[in-house]
A and B are shown apart, each in its own frame.
Chain A
Amino acid sequence: MHAKPLSGSAPGLADPLHPREFLVLVALADGAKHGYAVLKRVERESDGGVRLDPANLYRMLRRLDRDGLVADAGTEPGEGGRRRLFKLTPEGHRQVKTEALRVQRLATLLRARRLLPETGRSE
C-alpha cells in the first residue's frame, strides 16, 4: 500500500503519497467523477505539468481502490457505453487531508529557511 495512515498524530514529513496519486485524490475530493473528468482535472490543476495516459489513470484508480482510498460510485452514460464513476472513501478523504497537512508543514519549513518566498510571484 502506498499511503500510510498516521494514526491521528501530527503529519510527518516522511511517507508521502505519490504526487500523481495525490493529484488524482484531490481531483475526486469535490465529488464523484469518471476517468476523463479526473484526467482533465489533474491536467488543469497541475498547469499541464501532469498528463496521464488513460490506461495509466485506470491502473492508478484500481490500485487506490485496492488500498481503500477510492470506491466505485455507479455509472453514467457516455459516448461509447456507460462510464464508471469513482469517489473518495472516508479513508481517502483522511489521506488527502493528511497529505495536505504534510505539504503545508513542508512549505512552512521551506519559508522559514527562505527557500520559498512569502507570497507573490515566484520569479
Chain B
Amino acid sequence: MSAPRPLGSWVYRALLLAYPREFRDAHGREATETFVLLLGETSGLGPRINLWMRTIRSVVIDGMRERGFGSPRSRPSAGRWMAAAGRLRQSVRNGLRQWVRSPVHAVVATVSLAVGIGVAVAVLNVMLTLFVRPAVPGASSSLGVVGVWRDGNIQWSMAPGQVDRLSQRTRSFVALAGERFGWAWVTGVGPSLELEGSLVTFNYFDVLGLTPAIGRVFHEQDRASTATHSVAIISHRLWTDHFGAAVSVLGQTIEVNGQPVEILGVAPRGFRGPFQAQARDIWIPHELGHLTGQGAAGTLFRSGGTFEVIGRRGKGVSRIQAEEELLGLIRDGGPAEVISGVVVQHVRGVHPEQRSDLAETGRVALGIAGVLLTLTCINLGGLLYSRHLSRYKELSVRCALGGTRRGLVAELCAENLVVAVAAAGVSLVAAAAGQRLVANWFAYGFPGLHLPLTPTVAGLAMGLSVMVVLAFTIIPALLSTRSAPLAGLNERRPSSEGYRHTSRMQAGIAAAQVALSLMLVTGAAVMAASVSATLSVGGSDSDSILHYRLRPSRAGYTPQASLDYFAGLLADLDRVELVETAGLARVGVGRDWCCPLAVAYADQPGAVIRKVENNSVTAGFFDMLHIPLEAGRLFDATDTPASPPVAIVNRALADLLWPSASAVGQRLRTGEDDDVEVVQVVGVVATTHPSRSAEDPVPYLYLNFWQTKSVDGRLFVRVRGATGPAGRRLQAVLTGAGSGVHIGQVGTLADRIALGLAPQLALSGVLRASAGAGVVLSALGVYSLLSVSVRRRRRDDAIRLALGASRGAIVIGVLATGVRILGPGIALGVGLAWMQSRLLSGYIFGIQALDPMILGGATLAILIVGLLALGLPARRAAAVQPADVLRG
C-alpha cells in the first residue's frame, strides 16, 4: 500500500491546474514528487512560507505562459485588446446594475468577504512581520546573525574580544558588528526616561547599511576625539517625541546613566533594532561604553556581558561557506573553545531565538485564519449559488435567445469581480483600522511590533478576494447555465427534484458555517478563560497588585544603606490606608521569574542535585501572593543580615529533595564555584507559580531578602480599591522614601505575568477576532439562506393563507427550516470544538481544554444569534399579503 500523500502534494497538484492538461499528464507527477521533496527539506515556518509564495507565483505565471497567454506568439493585436477591454467594461457595468437591483445581496456578499479576508490578511500580516519582513530598512539577504552550537544549544552571543578577532580575520563577511542590550537612564531631556538601549561596535550602522535621518553614524575617529565623554545615536521616535524633531539635537549633550553623552545622529525612521519587536532608543559605542558603563551605570549596561553578532556577507559568499569559515576561525582561537558548529541566520522577522518559540503559535494562528477563510468561502459560495439560482429563469431565457454558455459565465465572473474589488477595499480599510487591535494582541513580549499595510499585503488581500470570488463563481455559474432552457424553467418549481437537491445543499452549507463558528467561539472563550486563570496568582486578582522596580544603586547606596531604605519604605507603606499588604523581592515574577540556582545537600559531599528557580523575598511576599505556609515558619525579625542564612522551599522542592523526611531544619548548599552559601530551611510553602499550571509543579527556593547582598529590588503592593488613586498615593510615598532612588517599570503584576504569556495572548486575540468574524458570517449565512427560502415559498405561503392557514403557522414553518440548519450545525460544531481542544491543549492552563460550561455557553450564544438571524425572514413571511402575491 502506498504511503498517504502529504497535504502539500495535493495543494501543488491543484496549483498545476494552471498548466495545460497535456503538460500535467506528461510532467505533473514528477513535478509534484520533486516539490514534495523540496518541501520536506525546508524547515521553519518562514522558509516554508517563502517556498509557497515563490511556487504559487512561478506556477501561475509559467502555467499561463504555457497556455499561450503573454507569449509573443499568442499576443493579441491592439484591436483584440480593445475589444476585450470593451467587453469587460460592459460586463462590469451589467454586474453593477445587477447588484444595485439587489442591494441586500451586494452588501451581505461584500461584508462576508471583507470580514473573512480582513481577519485572514491581518493574521498573515503578523506572520509576515514575525517571520519574513526585515526590521532593518532596505536590508538585503546578505545580512546574517551569527550563533554558535555549544553543549547542544545554539548561543546567539559571543565575548566582545572574540567579535573583534573574528571581524579582523574573516574573509566571508565584509564586517561583523556586535550589539549588547542594556537599560539607559536618560536625564537632560525634560522628565527622566528609562529607555532600552544598546552598546554597539563602531561599525554597527555601517554593517546594517543604515543612513541616519540626520547627523552621522559612528566613526573610528570618535574613539580619539571623545576622550572625556561618550557619543550616541538616538531613535527617530525619541527624537520626535522628546526633542520635537529639532535639528539642534545634534551636538546636544544628555546624561546617560549619570554620564555626559553627545548626540551624533538620529537613526532612520522605523529602525528600533535589527529584529522586529525590538524597541531600542539609544545606541552607544561599546568602545566608549566604559564612560557610561562603570560605577552606577555598570548594572545597566552590564560589564563583562556578551554581544549578539550581525555580519554582512561578501558578494558570492553563501551562508554555508560563511558558517564553515567562522567555525574554523573560532576553533583556531584556542583549546578552551568547545564549539560544535556555527549558524548564520537571515536578519528577518523576530530574532531566531524567539522565532522557534513562536513557530508553533504561528502555525495554529495560520490554521485559525484558514478556518475563517473556509467559512468565508462557504458563506460566499452559498450566497452566490442561491443568487445564481434566483436568476435561473433569466439565464435560461438568454441561453434560449442564443447567448453562449462561455459568454454568460464570463459575464457572471465579471459581475462578481465587482464585489471582490469592493470587498478587498473594505477589508483593507478594516485591517488598517484594526492594526492597533492586532498590535495589542502582541503588546506583551513584542511591545514595538510594527505592522505596516504594505503593497504586498494589499496585493494579498486583493488576490485572495479575487481568487475566492472566482472559485465560487465559476462552479455555480456553470451549474446555472448547464440546462436546456425549458428544463431550467421547470426546475424552479418547488416540487421538482432539483429544487429539493439545491435546498439540501444550501442547508448543508449554512449548517457548516454554524459548526465552524461554534468551534471558533468555543476556542476563543477557552483561551480567554485560560489567560484569565493564569493571571490570577494564588487564586487572587493580580490586577490589584502594583509592581515597582527600585534602584537605590542609582543613588550610590551601599548594601546596608539599601536595606535601611527598604525597611523604612515598608514601614511607610504600612501607614498608608490604601495598602493592604506589601512585599519585596530581588527579581520580578512572570517573565523575570528565573535565574536558576544550583542546590546540593549541605551535609553530604557530592555534585549539584539540580538548578532551581529562586527569588529573595520578604515574609510579606507570601501574604501578597496568597501562598500558604504548609510547615515551619515564614521569615521573621530574627532573620537578620548577621544571623545564619535561612530559606523556604515550596512543596515541589521539598518532595524532590526530602521525599521521606521533613524539609524543615534541613541544610542546603546553594550556588557554584566561589559563590557558595549554606542555608537552613525554616519553612515549606505551597507550590504556586504564576504562568504555570498546577499540573506542572516547579520546584522553587525562596531566600531571605534581608540576607542578600544586592542593592536593588522589586516592590509588590496589594492595594485596596482602584489601582489609579492608590498608584498616585504610592508614588508620593516612594519618592519621599529615598532621595535619588530610581523608580522604574511601574505597572500591575498582571502586566508583568502577561509578558511571559505572549504566545497565549496573541493566540487568544486571533481566536477572538476570528470568532467574532465567524459569528457574523454564520448569522449572515443563515439569514441569506432563509431570505431566499422565504422568497421562494412566497406564492405557496400566500395560497396557504388564502385557504385559511394562520400567520403563526407560516412563521413556525420558517423557524422549523432554521432549526433544521442550526441543529446539525451545532452537533457538528461540538465535534469540531472537541478536535480543536486537542490542538489548543498546549496553550491552556488552569482549566479543561474543553470546559463543559464554556461549550454550553458558546452553544447558547450561537443558538441566540441563529434565532435572531431567523427573525427577519420569519417576519417577512408572516407579512405576506395573499391578494397582492396571487394577483402579481
A, B co-complexed = yes
Q: Which residues of A contact B (CB under 8 A)?
A: 34-36, 39, 47-48, 51-59, 62, 78-81, 83-84, 121-123
Instruction: From the candidates B27, B37, B314, B316, name the one contacting A55 in the complex (CB within 8 A).
Output: B27
Q: Which residues of B contact A (CB under 8 A)?
A: 16, 19, 23, 26-27, 29-38, 54-55, 58-59, 62-63, 66, 171, 174, 314-319
Whether B34 contacts A36 by the Cβ 8 Å rule is yes
Known A35-B31, A80-B29; further 11 A-B contacts with Cβ < 8 A: A36-B33, A36-B38, A47-B318, A53-B62, A54-B32, A55-B16, A55-B19, A55-B35, A57-B31, A62-B26, A122-B314
Q: Can you name the residue of chain B whose Cβ is closest to the Cβ of A52?
A: B58
**Known contacts A58-B27, A123-B315: does B33 contact A81 (CB below 8 Å)?**
yes
- Which residues of chain B are near A35, meaning CB under 8 Å? 30-31, 34
Whether B33 contacts A123 by the Cβ 8 Å rule is no
- Which residues of chain A are near B16, meaning CB under 8 Å? 55
- Which residues of chain B are near A121, meaning CB under 8 Å? 171, 314
Interface-central residue, A54, A57, A79, A121, by most chain B CB under 10 Å: A54
Whether A53 contacts B33 by the Cβ 8 Å rule is no
**Known contacts A53-B55, A54-B35, A55-B16: does B29 contact A81 (CB below 8 Å)?**
yes
- Which residues of chain B are near A36, meaning CB under 8 Å? 33-34, 37-38
Whether A78 contacts B318 by the Cβ 8 Å rule is no
Whether A39 contacts B315 by the Cβ 8 Å rule is no
Whether A56 contacts B62 by the Cβ 8 Å rule is yes
Q: CA of A29 to CA of B608 in the docked complex: distance in angstroms?
A: 61
- Which residues of chain B are near A79, meaning CB under 8 Å? 33, 37
- Which residues of chain A are near B38, meaning CB under 8 Å? 36, 39, 54
Q: Can you name the residue of chain B whose Cβ is closest to the Cβ of A63?
A: B66
Q: Which 3 A/B pairs are nearest by Cβ-Cβ distance?
A: A53-B58, A54-B34, A58-B27
- Which residues of chain B are near A58, meaning CB under 8 Å? 23, 26-27, 30-31
B290 to chain A, nearest CB (A): 33
**Known contacts A47-B318, A121-B171: does B31 contact A55 (CB below 8 Å)?**
yes
Instruction: From the candidates B33, B314, B315, name the one contacting A83 in the complex (CB within 8 A).
Output: B33
**Known contacts A62-B27, A84-B30: does B59 contact A53 (CB below 8 Å)?**
yes
- Which residues of chain B are near A53, meaning CB under 8 Å? 35, 54-55, 58-59, 62
Q: Can you name the residue of chain A whose Cβ is closest to the Cβ of B50?
A: A51
- Which residues of chain A are near B32, meaning CB under 8 Å? 54, 80
- Which residues of chain B are near A47, meaning CB under 8 Å? 316-318
Q: Can you name the residue of chain A whose Cβ is closest to the Cβ of B33?
A: A80
Q: CA of A12 to CA of B373 in the docked complex: distance in angstroms?
A: 55
Whether A122 contacts B27 by the Cβ 8 Å rule is no
- Which residues of chain B are near A39, meaning CB under 8 Å? 34, 38
Whether A122 contacts B315 by the Cβ 8 Å rule is yes
A51 to chain B, nearest CB (A): 7
- Which residues of chain A are near B171, meaning CB under 8 Å? 121
Q: CA of A83 to CA of B31 in the docked complex: distance in angstroms?
A: 10
A59 to chain B, nearest CB (A): 6
- Which residues of chain A are near B33, meaning CB under 8 Å? 36, 78-81, 83
Whether A55 contacts B29 by the Cβ 8 Å rule is no
Whether A48 contacts B318 by the Cβ 8 Å rule is yes
Q: Can you name the residue of chain B whose Cβ is closest to the Cβ of A84?
A: B30
**Known contacts A62-B27, A78-B33: does B315 contact A55 (CB below 8 Å)?**
no
A84 to chain B, nearest CB (A): 7
Can you name 9 A-B pairs with beta carbons within 8 Å? A35-B34, A48-B319, A56-B58, A58-B23, A58-B26, A62-B26, A62-B27, A81-B29, A122-B314
Q: CA of A35 to CA of B34 in the docked complex: distance in angstroms?
A: 7
Q: Can you name the residue of chain A whose Cβ is closest to the Cβ of B2?
A: A80
B190 to chain A, nearest CB (A): 44
- Which residues of chain B are near A54, meaning CB under 8 Å? 30-32, 34-35, 38
Whether A123 contacts B59 by the Cβ 8 Å rule is no
Q: CA of A39 to CA of B39 in the docked complex: distance in angstroms?
A: 13
A116 to chain B, nearest CB (A): 12
- Which residues of chain B are near A56, meaning CB under 8 Å? 58-59, 62
Q: Can you name the residue of chain B whose Cβ is closest to the Cβ of A123?
A: B314
B43 to chain A, nearest CB (A): 15
Interface-central residue, B23, B33, B34, B58, by most chain A CB under 10 Å: B34
A43 to chain B, nearest CB (A): 9
Q: Can you name the residue of chain A whose Cβ is closest to the Cβ of B28?
A: A55
Whether A59 contacts B54 by the Cβ 8 Å rule is no
Q: Can you name the residue of chain A whose Cβ is closest to the Cβ of B56?
A: A53
Q: CA of A58 to CA of B22 in the docked complex: distance in angstroms?
A: 13
- Which residues of chain B are near A84, meaning CB under 8 Å? 30
A1 to chain B, nearest CB (A): 13
Instruction: From the candidates A34, A55, A62, A122, name the one contacting B58 in the complex (CB within 8 A).
Output: A55
B37 to chain A, nearest CB (A): 5
Q: CA of A122 to CA of B58 in the docked complex: distance in angstroms?
A: 31
Whether B59 contacts A55 by the Cβ 8 Å rule is yes
Q: CA of A121 to CA of B315 in the docked complex: distance in angstroms?
A: 8
Q: CA of A35 to CA of B33 in the docked complex: distance in angstroms?
A: 10
Q: CA of A47 to CA of B314 in the docked complex: distance in angstroms?
A: 12
A5 to chain B, nearest CB (A): 22
Q: Can you name the residue of chain B whose Cβ is closest to the Cβ of A61?
A: B27
**Known contacts A55-B63, A56-B58: does B30 contact A123 (CB below 8 Å)?**
no
Q: CA of A47 to CA of B36 in the docked complex: distance in angstroms?
A: 22
- Which residues of chain A are near B63, meaning CB under 8 Å? 55
- Which residues of chain A are near B318, meaning CB under 8 Å? 47-48
- Which residues of chain B are near A78, meaning CB under 8 Å? 33
Q: CA of A84 to CA of B672 in the docked complex: distance in angstroms?
A: 63
- Which residues of chain A are near B314, meaning CB under 8 Å? 121-123
Interface-central residue, A59, A62, A79, A122, by most chain B CB under 10 Å: A59
Q: CA of A36 to CA of B38 in the docked complex: distance in angstroms?
A: 8
Interface-central residue, A36, A55, A83, A122, by most chain B CB under 10 Å: A55
Instruction: From the candidates A48, A52, A83, A122, name the one contacting B30 in the complex (CB within 8 A).
Output: A83
Q: Can you name the residue of chain A whose Cβ is closest to the Cβ of B61?
A: A56
- Which residues of chain A are near B37, meaning CB under 8 Å? 36, 79
- Which residues of chain B are near A83, meaning CB under 8 Å? 30, 33
Q: CA of A48 to CA of B23 in the docked complex: distance in angstroms?
A: 27
B402 to chain A, nearest CB (A): 39
**Known contacts A53-B55, A55-B19: does B34 contact A122 (CB below 8 Å)?**
no
